[in-house]
Amino acid sequence: MLLWAFLTAFILSIILTPFVIRLAYKMGATDKPNERKVHEKVMPRMGGLAIFLSFFIAYVIFGGNFPNQVPILLGALVIIIIGMIDDIYELRARTKLLGQIAAALIIILMGGLEVEFINLPFGGMLEFGMLSIPITILWIVGVTNAINLIDGLDGLAAGVSSIALITISVMALLMGDLFVATLALIVTGGTLGFLKYNFYPAKVFMGDTGSLFLGYIIAVISLLGFKNVTMISLIVPIIILGVPLSDTFFAIIRRVINKQPLAAPDKSHLHHCLVRVGYSHRETVILIYALAASFGLAAIIFSLATLWGALLILGILILTIEIIVEKIGLVGANYQPLLKMYNTAKNANVKNKG
């Protein structure tokens, strides 16, 4: 069933995307070039509608006996409507945020999906109580916007999302969770089918319709698979989504340092920085794919490791992220605390030897 679910969504997406492209032009859902964009001609967006439709049809076919079907689809529909309106009329950031919160509340209140507690590594339990709903909303909204922010190059968000979804499906199968594995593979199929038209040079952009939907559904799927478990296991979805979440985290740091509004757009995200240091459009996308795949593999190893092994892997990942951030100037050209410390120690060592 897993293979058929994946293939159904994949084929549907390939068939539906050309129709969605024509619909985007008719509805005025187009992306015009400007100083922040890398494309040089008017492009249709709203292509994420094809991902959603393929997901919707395949999920109705293969997920009929699974729980939370109505809340998941209803929340996704709210996100899709918000995304489509934004792709056509460009909504204010506050309006989009309210739509994301509404979608999160649907899956929480109707589907009962919330992080209520975690088991601590050295014994005991941490119950969130009244904070469980705000924490769950924060996760869903945070992941939704993380995928939205990384959607800056042809095929980037679709590829990174697919890698995250494949990782989640593999881990769900290892845990014996057929529901999460099926749901993740359906979304993967729809996203990869769309990627045929979205990879560089793209014929269509997914727009907020696609990036918001992918972020929302990945957040929901990861909660379905990893909620109410140990603290170590709760870190797994964070590692899986290491690339978009890190990019979002450092974007917030960058804007706070520069005293800019958190919602202010800029051209200093991960993909912008890699292009700026000399990588081509295609090379940047493939490099970020490789980075996302590395995080996915690390998440699988992390989940199978002992407590101390998991902590070691986590430490290595954090150190790696920090070095990459400083090397490419993700926070700013002058933000290099580790590299400056290393160079100071290196120069001192050379001086002592001399």
Sequence letter at residue 115: V
Cα–Cα distance list, 44 to 16, 23, 215, 275, 308 (Å): 14, 9, 20, 23, 49
Query: What's the pLDDT score for residue 48?
Result: 95
Q: Are 221 and 40 in contact (CB under 8 A)?
A: no
Per-residue pLDDT tens, the chain, 354 aa: give them: 789 999 999 999 999 999 999 999 999 998 876 665 555 678 899 999 999 999 999 998 887 677 778 899 999 999 999 999 999 998 998 999 999 999 999 999 998 888 777 766 656 667 788 888 998 999 999 999 999 988 888 999 999 999 999 999 998 898 888 889 999 999 999 999 999 999 988 999 999 999 999 999 999 998 887 765 555 556 788 888 888 888 888 888 888 887 777 766 677 788 888 888 888 889 999 999 999 999 999 988 888 887 788 888 889 998 988 888 888 888 877 788 888 887 777 777 666 665
Q: How many helices (H) and strands (E) does the chain have?
A: 15, 4
Residues in the chain: 354
Q: How far apart are CA 75 and CA 133, in angstroms?
A: 16
Residue that the structure tokens 């290196």 belong to? 346
Give me the residue spans of the domains in the chain: 2-353
Query: What's the pLDDT score for residue 118?
Result: 72
Of 217, 245, 220, the residue nearest 149 (C-alpha): 245
CB within 8 Å of 66: residues ≥ 6 apart: 179, 182, 183
Q: Does 34 show up as a binding residue in the annotation?
A: no
Residue 119, beta-bridge partner list: 125, 230
Q: Are 54 and 193 in contact (CB under 8 A)?
A: yes
Cα 332 vs. chain centroid, distance in angstroms?
A: 23
Extract the tokens encoding 179.
Answer: 């529901």
Query: What's the pLDDT score for residue 4?
Result: 93
Q: Does 148 show up as a binding residue in the annotation?
A: yes
DSSP state of 277: T
Q: Are 241 and 248 in contact (CB under 8 A)?
A: no
Longest CA span, the chain: 74
Q: Are 273 and 330 in contact (CB under 8 A)?
A: yes
Query: What's the pLDDT score for residue 354?
Result: 55
Cα 114 vs. chain centroid, distance in angstroms?
A: 19
Phi/psi at 302 (5° precision): -55, -45
Phi/psi at 277 (5° precision): -85, 0
* H/E segment holding residue 139: helix 132-150
